[in-house]
Every structure is written in structure tokens, then in C-alpha cells.
Homo-oligomer: A and B are copies of this chain.
């Protein structure tokens, strides 16, 4: 595409760095943004610059926040005795949307992954340990992903909690709602069996 202007080529290359965006989608976006209404492109650029300037991490839970302590950590309505540990801000959003949890969070911004050089320090676990030592938390709910790395991370943090005589619980693993047994993988079915409860 040697006929592209430099600015257009640069824009396509920049858009390709968005997650899930390949060459075709980047081109489609670039042409769309250069179309009749160019204010969209300016709005996106400004929102990006404002976001990277203003958004930092909550000093307490590590989630994205514009303030030193985020809205959830500040809220008097949340039970700070229940601490739910999640891997990412996206996980926190999903749990909040479920409406199932009224406690507070700790966001790891990742998972233990020694091969990628991500150990306890990189996940801010010293900060989590200080929180657990604070005398407020009663129960640590481990809501990391049900992947190998998520399980390892949950196991590690569970140990940190138990060492302080705090209750550590893991969210249940089993058949999702609407799931048909025929199509559920073996591993999940095994976990659903071992985790069965009185009906």
C-alpha cells in the first residue's frame, strides 16, 4: 500500500496495536475516522490522552482510579471485612455486574507466572499482605480465573491468608447456568461432582 499517505499509514499501524485489531479492521477504522465526521477521531484522541493522564491505581485495592482511594474502597456501604481478590479490573467489573458481592476488592493486575517473570512482588502481594495484617479483613475470597495460573495464584494467596488465621475461600467451579452436561468438558464435570452440595 505504497499509495497511502504517511499519516494514514501511521494511523493504521497505531490502530493495529489495539487488542483484537488486525490489518483489515485497522484500515476500516482509519477510513471511518477520516470520513464525514472527524470529530469522532478528535474525541477518541482526547479521551485517550485524558485517561492516561488522569487514571492511576487506587492505593488500597490497586484498581484503576482517578482518586487516591477508589469509590468502592471509600464506600461506607461495602463490607471491608470481605476481601475479594481478582486478576484484573475487567474481572472486577463482571463481579460487580453480577451483584453478588458487597465487600471490597484487591486487583492483582495479573497472575503468578514465573516463566514470564511475574512473581509475588510484581502482583503487589506485599501490599495485599499489609492489608491482611490491618485487622479489618475476616475472609479472603479467591476469585482468580479457573486456569492453571489462576489456581496457582489462588493457592499462593490462600496460604498468605491462612498463615494469618484468616478464612480463605475459593469461588465455586462447576457447570455454568444453562450448561448442558453433554457439552461440558471432563475437567469441569469432575469439579462439579467433587463440589456437589446437598440439594
Question: Which of B5, B13, B17, B51 is A64 in contact with, Cβ under 8 Å?
Answer: B5
- How far apart are A4's CB and chain B's nearest CB, in angstroms? 8
A-side interface mostly: helix
Number of interface residues of A (CB under 8 A): 57
A5 to B90, CA, bound (A): 14
CB <8 Å contact, A51 and B8: yes
A65 to B5, CA, bound (A): 6
CB <8 Å contact, A8 and B93: no
A: which residues have CB within 8 A of B?
1-3, 5-8, 10-11, 13-15, 17-20, 25, 27-35, 38, 40-55, 64-67, 70-72, 88-90, 93, 96-97, 109
CB <8 Å contact, B14 and A19: no
CB <8 Å contact, B88 and A31: yes
